[in-house]
Each structure stands twice: as C-alpha cells, then as structure tokens.
A and B are shown apart, each in its own frame.
Chain A
Amino acid sequence: DQQVKQNSPSLSVQEGRISILNCDYTNSMFDYFLWYKKYPAEGPTFLISISSIKDKNEDGRFTVFLNKSAKHLSLHIVPSQPGDSAVYFCAASETSYDKVIFGPGTSLSVIP
C-alpha cells in the first residue's frame, strides 16, 4: 500500500497560469515533506521542502502548502513556464533523518 499518493498521473496547464500538484499521505508519523522535479533522462532534483511545524513554504514561484489534519500537501507554481514541464515527485519522511518515501509522480505539461 502506497504511503504517499499522487492521484493525478498528469496535468496540463497554460503558460502563465497556476499549476497545482496534489499529494496525499497515509502515515500520520510523516513530518517532513519534499518535492522533487525530474526531466526526462535526468535524475530528480530537489525543489522545495516543508516540515510539519509550518503550513506553508515559499521559494520564488514555488509554494508548498501542508494540511496535516487532512494528510494533504500541494505544490503551487505561479506563473507556470514551459520549462516547468517535468515529472514532480512528492516525498515524505518521519523525521528529516529518516528514509524518504516517494509518491508515483505527476507529469506536468505547461503549454506555451
């Protein structure tokens, strides 16, 4: 049973609009969450993280929101750019020092 779920395998967004990628988790002990971005034929790269003591973390165009009671987090990209087209993995761990569990990924396409 997957502990980290990304129920949308793919998402298409117009350039300039907001992209919202969703992630749900089942393990209530998770308290550290990360997003990784992956281009084809490359390894994933770290994008942004959030710990459970926060409900929002922002880095430029990227913002992650965490709702612990709903066991849900989301990544917002505003404005979306064609270069943002990639697979986005949500990941979680019980502490920042524990094993990281990855979701299946969401493929984002930003249409010019």
Chain B
Amino acid sequence: IAGITQAPTSQILAAGRRMTLRCTQDMRHNAMYWYRQDLGLGLRLIHYSNTAGTTGKGEVPDGYSVSRANTDDFPLTLASAVPSQTSVYFCASSANRGYEQFFGPGTRLTVL
C-alpha cells in the first residue's frame, strides 16, 4: 500500500518556468491538500479539494493552481515560478475534510 506518492522528489527550476508537482493517493480519500513548509513558518495550506471536481483556496494560494479531475490525483501547478516559491511541498489527504490527514513524502523545489 503506497498511501500518498509525490513526484518529483526534488527539482531545481529556473524562474519563469512552469512546473507541475504530482500527487496521487490510493486510499480513496475524499479530501486532498497542498501545503508548503518553510523554516519558522510551519506548514501553510496552498489549496485544498473536499471531493473530486471541487477545489478551494488556502492561506497562500497566489501563484499556484490545482485541479481535481478524479479522486486519486491532485496536481499542483506553478504557472511561472518565482524564487519565493522555493520550499518543500507536501500533499496530504483525509477521508473527509478535517479528519486525520495523511501526508506524502514531499517535493523539495528550488527556484533560481
């Protein structure tokens, strides 16, 4: 049982480039989330999805977009990366909104 997988594990990206971080879960969870982790700031919610076909904005949504075409996948796209988006990105899922969240291993993104 994989749980949640994220790809890539790490990436170095030139500013201005487009990047999609992938997230897949096999637990058939309804809710999925994207967080970024920055030193001294903890985990901040970027976007979330309560169920397939719906998405919502979190604390820091600017510069990011998401889609939820099906239950399992929740990709995060940076349309035009900027250095301030350098961070570790975690995808998470929960059976339903607010229940215990299960996190993926993270993607370390560096924007130069």
Contact = CB atoms under 8 A, between A and B. Distances in A.
Contacts of A41: 105-106
A36 B42 CA distance: 11
Given A43-B103, A43-B104, A102 B98 contact: no
B8 interface: no
B97 interface: yes
Contacts of B22: none
B42 A4 contact: yes
B4 interface: yes
Contacts of A43: 4, 90, 92, 102-106
A96 B99 contact: yes
Contacts of B106: 41-43
Q: How large is the interface on B (under 10, 10 to 19, 20 to 34, 35 or more residues)?
A: 20 to 34
Contacts of B99: 96
Contact of B100 (A4, A46, A98, A105): A46
A85 interface: no
Given A46-B100, A98-B98, A104 B41 contact: yes
A89 interface: yes
A6 B104 CA distance: 23
Given A43-B92, A43-B106, A104-B40, A99 B4 contact: no
Nearest to A104: B42
Interface of A: 2, 4, 6, 9, 32, 34, 36, 41-46, 49, 89, 91, 93, 95-105
22 contacts: A6-B42, A34-B100, A36-B103, A42-B105, A43-B92, A43-B102, A43-B104, A44-B90, A45-B102, A46-B100, A93-B98, A95-B98, A96-B98, A96-B99, A97-B96, A98-B97, A99-B59, A100-B101, A101-B45, A104-B40, A104-B42, A105-B42
Interface of B: 4, 35, 40-45, 48, 58-59, 90, 92, 96-106
Given A32-B98, A45-B102, A97-B96, 7 more contacts: A43-B4, A46-B100, A89-B43, A98-B97, A100-B98, A102-B43, A104-B41
The 5 closest A-B pairs by CB, nearest first: A43-B103, A97-B98, A102-B43, A102-B42, A104-B42
